[in-house]
């Protein structure tokens, strides 16, 4: 009897997700129909990126905030958005990220092969069952140019057992360890800078913070940054660096600078990439930041100013006018430096220590390729800006 009831309940849930056309007879999607908006986004076939290698479905799923935003709406929602990127096997991190970040969020997902269907289905389920995602999160999908996403109406197996938001994240958890780090089936390179640009382009705020999905910003960052930036004259050439750290997997993510410093002092937190590439984050000057006076006053300030040097790869809040990431750089290494105020008490933390041997087999080969591209990129900058006295 129970199994019969559960079967009926599941069929009802499925009909809620996909039953009926939901649209008007003239074919135009209804404004309030999430399903019809998804169907329309997919019907466009996406667009190709500049290289022609990838197909991009921008705004595959739009949040209520983006869809319903009108002139005169709450100005605080237009100041700072978070942009991030992932494969489907890391999308489960979105749940913990949303526990900390209650503001606009743009997520670019890369999928390949059968994961294109899976990603489309699960993103739709997230937007259907999770109120916070409905309200705040915009999803974008990137796949190879020879692949296409389709409406998941016939993919019932992807929706079996999905009844609420928690069940969708549980399904994503089962997918988390399919590939090692950013390795993808078929030896496909993960186009991280394209994804960063897609996520950035999906925001409509004045400032953007781009991070990896398995990173966490400090608590209250949005309201603290809002209060700080309202006191400053806007400038298109300013970026605000958040020192980046990594924490042991077993540890709870710190919310404040004082919590982070305590963990830092006992070795449970360390600078990001300290083992793999200490030079990549050293210009942040961690000792100066950690030893600067910690004032838990709820205010954010500029702690000190730095000049960018090779090979610094900072995470930063920047205006929309900051140049896009160079999409020639793929996978790991030399991928944030194609573009500095350090903030007093804001930071980002990566979940888990980055260690040798943790990455997929092609990482070293990709780093060598990116190193050659970066040297070429530097020469291109010298040609483009011959009068500049700045050098990489």
For residue 160, the model assigns a pLDDT of 80
Same structural domain, 294 and 369: yes
Average pLDDT over residues 45-58: 96
Sorting pLDDT into bands at 50, 70 and 90, what band is 19? low
Q: Which of 213, 228, 262 is the last residue of a domain?
A: 213
Together in a domain, 63 and 149: yes
- C-alpha distances out from residue 81 to 92, 102, 282, Å: 20, 10, 26
Q: Which of 196, 213, 230 is the last residue of a domain?
A: 213
Rounded CA-CA distance 342/389 in Å is 23
Residue 288 to residue 6: CA distance in whole angstroms: 59
pLDDT in tens, 84-93: 999 999 999 9
Which pLDDT value is given to residue 382? 62
Q: Are residues 172 and 292 in the same domain?
A: no
Domain co-membership, 197 together with 52:
yes
Q: How confident is the model at residue 340 (pLDDT cuts 50, 70, 90)?
A: confident
Q: What is the pLDDT of residues 126-146, one digit of tens each?
A: 999 999 999 999 999 999 999
CA distances to 147, 191, 197, 328, 391 from 325, in Å: 24, 11, 6, 9, 18
Q: How far is CA 69 from the centre of its chain?
A: 22
Whether pLDDT at 109 is above 60: yes
Whether 15 maps to a domain, the answer reads no
Q: How far, CA to CA in Å, does 131 sit from each of 67, 164, 166? A: 15, 10, 12
- Judge if 161 and 268 occupy the same domain: no
Indicate if 276 and 321 belong to the same structural domain.
Answer: yes
What confidence tier does 337 reach under pLDDT thresholds 50, 70, 90? Answer: very low
By residue range, what is the domain housing residue 137?
A: 31-68+76-213
If you average pLDDT over every residue of the chain, what do you get? 82
If asked whether residues 207 and 233 sit together in one domain, one would say: no
* Residue for token pair 């296409």: 148
Q: Over the stretch 201-210, which tens digit does the pLDDT of each residue have? A: 999 999 999 9
- Residues linked to residue 209 through DSSP beta bridges, in sequence order: 82, 317
Buried-exposed string 247-265: b where 16+ CB fall within 10 A, e elsewhere: beeeeebbebbebbbebbe
pLDDT band at 312 (very low <50, low <70, confident <90, very high): confident
Name the band, by pLDDT with cuts 50, 70 and 90, for residue 235: confident
Cα dihedral value 246, 252, 256, 257, nearest 10 = -40
Residue 21 domain-assigned (yes or no): no
pLDDT digit string, tens, across residues 214-233: 999 999 999 999 999 999 88
144 or 383, higher pLDDT: 144
Q: Are residues 171 and 235 in the same domain?
A: no
pTM: 0.84
d(CA 194, CA 196): 5
Instruction: Return all residues near 125 (Cβ < 8 A) that are at least 6 apart.
Output: 17, 158, 159, 162, 168, 171
Could you read off the pLDDT of 252-281 as tens digits, one per residue? 999 999 999 999 999 999 999 999 889 989
- Output the pLDDT for position 339: 44
Q: CB under 8 Å to 215, separation ≥6 — which residues?
A: 84, 244, 315, 348, 349, 350, 351
Last residue within a domain, chosen from 158, 179, 213: 213
In the chain, how many domains are there? 2
Which pLDDT does position 186 carry in this prediction? Answer: 64
- Mapped onto helix, strand or coil, the DSSP state of residue 369 is helix
Peptide bond before residue 311 is cis, with ω within 30 degrees of 0: yes
Ranges of beta strands (E only) in 62-136 are: 80-87, 105-110
Q: At 36, phi and psi to the nearest 5?
A: -70, -30
Cβ atoms of residues 19 and 2 within 8 Å:
no
125 & 136 share domain: yes
Is residue 310 included in any domain, yes or no?
yes
Average pLDDT for residues 318-340, to the nearest whole number?
Answer: 64
Q: How confident is the model at residue 124 (pLDDT cuts 50, 70, 90)?
A: very high
Residues 181 and 233 in one domain: no
Residue 3 lies in a domain: no
DSSP element (H, E) containing 142: strand 137-144
Residue 4 lies inside a defined structural domain of this protein: no
* pLDDT value, residue 189: 84
- Provide the pLDDT for residue 318: 92
Asked if the model's pLDDT at residue 328 lies above 80, the reply is no
- Residues of the chain with pLDDT > 90: what percent? 54
For the beta sheet containing 54-61, the strands, ordered from the edge strand earlier in sequence to the opposite edge, are 47-48, 54-61, 137-144, 105-110, 80-87, 207-212, 315-319, 240-242, 341-343, 302-305
Residues 100 and 89 reside in one and the same domain: yes
The answer as to whether 128 is a domain residue is yes
Say yes or no: 156 and 108 in one domain.
yes
Q: Is residue 12 part of a domain?
A: no
SS3 content of the chain, % helix, strand, coil (to 5): 40, 15, 45
Any domain includes 13: no
């Amino acid at each position: 009897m129970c199994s019969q009831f559960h079967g009926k309940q599941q069929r009802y849930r499925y009909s809620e997700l996909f039953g009926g056309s939901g649209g008007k007879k003239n074919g135009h999607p209804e404004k309030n129909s999430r399903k019809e908006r998804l169907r329309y986004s997919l019907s466009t076939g996406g667009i190709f990126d500049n290289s022609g290698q990838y197909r991009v479905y921008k705004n595959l799923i739009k949040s209520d905030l983006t869809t319903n935003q009108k002139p005169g709406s709450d100005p605080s929602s237009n100041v700072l958005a978070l942009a991030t990127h992932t494969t489907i096997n890391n999308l489960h991190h979105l749940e913990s990220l949303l526990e900390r970040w209650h503001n606009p969020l743009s997520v670019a997902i890369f999928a390949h092969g059968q994961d294109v269907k899976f990603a489309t289905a699960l993103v739709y389920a997230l937007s259907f069952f999770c109120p916070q995602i409905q309200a705040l999160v915009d999803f974008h999908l990137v796949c190879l140019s020879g692949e296409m996403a389709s409406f998941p109406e016939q993919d019932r197996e992807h929706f079996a057992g999905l009844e609420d938001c928690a069940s969708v994240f549980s399904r994503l958890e089962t997918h988390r360890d399919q590939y090692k780090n950013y390795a993808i089936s078929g030896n496909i390179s993960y186009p991280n800078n394209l994804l960063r640009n897609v996520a950035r382009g999906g925001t409509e705020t004045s400032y953007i913070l781009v991070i990896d999905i398995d990173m966490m910003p400090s608590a209250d960052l949005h309201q603290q940054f809002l209060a700080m930036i309202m006191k400053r004259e806007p400038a298109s050439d300013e970026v605000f660096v958040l020192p980046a750290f990594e924490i042991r997997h077993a540890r709870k993510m710190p919310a404040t600078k004082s919590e982070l410093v305590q963990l830092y002092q006992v070795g449970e937190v360390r600078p990001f990439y300290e083992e793999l590439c200490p030079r990549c984050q050293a210009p942040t000057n961690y000792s100066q930041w950690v030893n600067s006076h910690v004032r838990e006053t709820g205010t954010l300030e500029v702690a000190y100013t730095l000049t960018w040097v090779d090979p610094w790869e900072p995470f930063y809040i920047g205006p929309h006018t900051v140049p896009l990431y160079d999409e020639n750089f793929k996978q790991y290494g030399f991928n944030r430096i194609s573009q500095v105020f350090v903030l007093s008490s804001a930071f980002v933390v990566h979940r888990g220590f980055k260690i040798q041997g943790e990455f997929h087999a092609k990482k070293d080969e990709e780093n060598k390729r990116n190193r050659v591209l970066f040297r070429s990129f530097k020469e291109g900058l010298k040609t483009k800006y011959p009068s500049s006295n700045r050098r990489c």
